[in-house]
Amino acid sequence: MKKKAKKRNMSRAAKILIAAAAVTAVAAAAVFAVFFSPLFSINNIEVQPLEHYPEERISSFLKDYIGKNGFRAVIGNSSLHQTKSFFSLELVEAEEKILFACPYLESVTVKFRPGHTVSVSAEERKSAFLTEFYDLYLLCDTHGVVLETFTRETVPEELPIVKGITPGDYKLGRSISDGRNDNIDTAIRFCRLLSQLDMESYIDIVDVSDYNNIRLYCAPSLTVIFGSMTDAGVKLSLTKGVMDKGVDGNSNATVTVADGRQATFVKNSGRED
């Protein structure tokens, strides 16, 4: 009886080993199929339409992936600190390269879509203001990130120029703020509000030389005494209301909104509320 029981146990163990070997073989075949099969090779790149970069520009960063297995490309773009990118099928290294080379992009997602496609979607930065840097004008977004540079002859006219700040240096794709300059930080906060209210085209110059007494100018003859950033949203709304009623650069007037309660302007004819 003992010999028969022993044989039965050995038979069961053998069956378990065979089953385990079969599962391992199937798993290995599945892994091989996933990571080496041409069924998952990349042959198409889809790029979301962007305002500042043509599709060809973005696709050029991904041309080396054409013909490669998509899952292996994802593994090659992942690390121990980026396991999330594998499960989301993102190509993280490709994302970083695109962001580094394209300062107008705030975020980029590059994903492999089984079977043959890599898709690219992105969020673009919004231009907010310009400021002078020696002989150049720096175009910055709502966070002070430098997007592009212009000469005096090519500077765009639809955005305000910030006076009273002196960036220590600049790099495309990096903010001019280091967190230690109150004038620069005030300028960025102010122009962010200006952008949120779609007022960039209303103002020609923002002067933050004294960040507690900000002044705005509209060429050729309108001055707005804005004051500090206290109640800045209210003050800008007051300014917008006055200008929407017809006050503009030709008004030859000074508008004061510093108290945050009402807009008062003075013309040659006197004071009006």
User: How many angstroms separate the CA atoms of 257 and 273, rounded?
Assistant: 11
Residues 143, 55 share a domain = no
Residues 113 and 194 occupy one common structural domain: no
Report the pLDDT value the prediction gives residue 30, as an integer from 0 to 100: 44
Cβ-based neighbours of 237, under 8 Å, separated by 6 or more: 197
Query: How far is it, in rounded angstroms, from Cα 232 to Cα 215?
Result: 12
Within-domain flag for 104: yes
Residues 28 and 49 in one domain: no
- According to the model, what pLDDT value does residue 23 have? 47
Rg of the chain (C-alpha set): 30
Rounded to whole angstroms, the Cα distance separating 233 from 215 reads: 15
183 within some domain = yes
Give a yes or no: residue 4 inside a domain.
no
Q: List the pLDDT tens digit at each of the 273 positions of the chain.
A: 555 554 555 566 655 555 444 444 344 444 444 455 566 789 999 999 999 999 999 999 999 999 888 878 888 777 644 555 567 889 999 999 999 999 999 999 999 988 789 999 999 999 999 999 999 999 999 999 999 999 999 999 899 999 999 999 999 999 999 988 999 999 999 999 999 999 999 999 999 999 999 999 999 999 999 999 999 999 999 999 999 999 999 999 999 999 999 999 898 665 454
Statement to judge: residues 120 and 133 lie in one domain: no
Q: Residue 158: give its domain's CATH number.
A: 3.40.50
Measure the N-to-C terminal CA separation of the chain; round to a whole number of Å: 111
Q: How many CB atoms lie within 10 A of CB 228?
A: 15
Nearest CA among 201, 212, 263, 207 for reference residue 236? 263
Residue 225 belongs to some domain of the structure: yes
Domain span at 62: 41-124
Let me know whether 191 and 154 are in one domain.
Answer: yes
Peptide bond into 115 cis (omega under 30): yes
pLDDT at 183: 97
DSSP string, 206-240: EE-SSTTSEEEEETTTEEEEEESSTTHHHHHHHHH
| 134 lies in the same domain as 267 | yes
Cα dihedral 221, 227, 233, 239, rounded to 10, equals -20
Report if residue 169 sits inside a domain: yes
Which residues have CB under 8 Å from 18's CB, separation 6+? none
Spatial strand order of the sheet with 44-47 comes to: 44-47, 117-124, 105-113
Report how many domains make up the chain: 3
Residue 121 has what pLDDT?
Answer: 97
Q: Are residues 89 and 163 in the same domain?
A: no
Using alpha carbons only, what angle is made at residue 122 by residues 119 and 127, rounded to the nearest 5 degrees? 160
Give yes or no: residues 168 and 235 share one domain: yes
Q: What is the DSSP letter of 132?
A: E
Does residue 227 share a domain with residue 206? yes
Query: Residue 255 has what pLDDT?
Result: 96
Does residue 192 fall inside a structural domain? yes
End of a domain among 72, 92, 124?
Answer: 124
Phi and psi (nearest 5°) for 56?
A: -65, -35
Domain check: are 51 and 81 in the same one?
yes
Query: Quick one: pLDDT at residue 9?
Result: 53
Whichever domain contains 78, its CATH number is 3.10.20
Q: What is the pLDDT of residue 128?
A: 97
**Do 169 and 83 belong to one domain?**
no
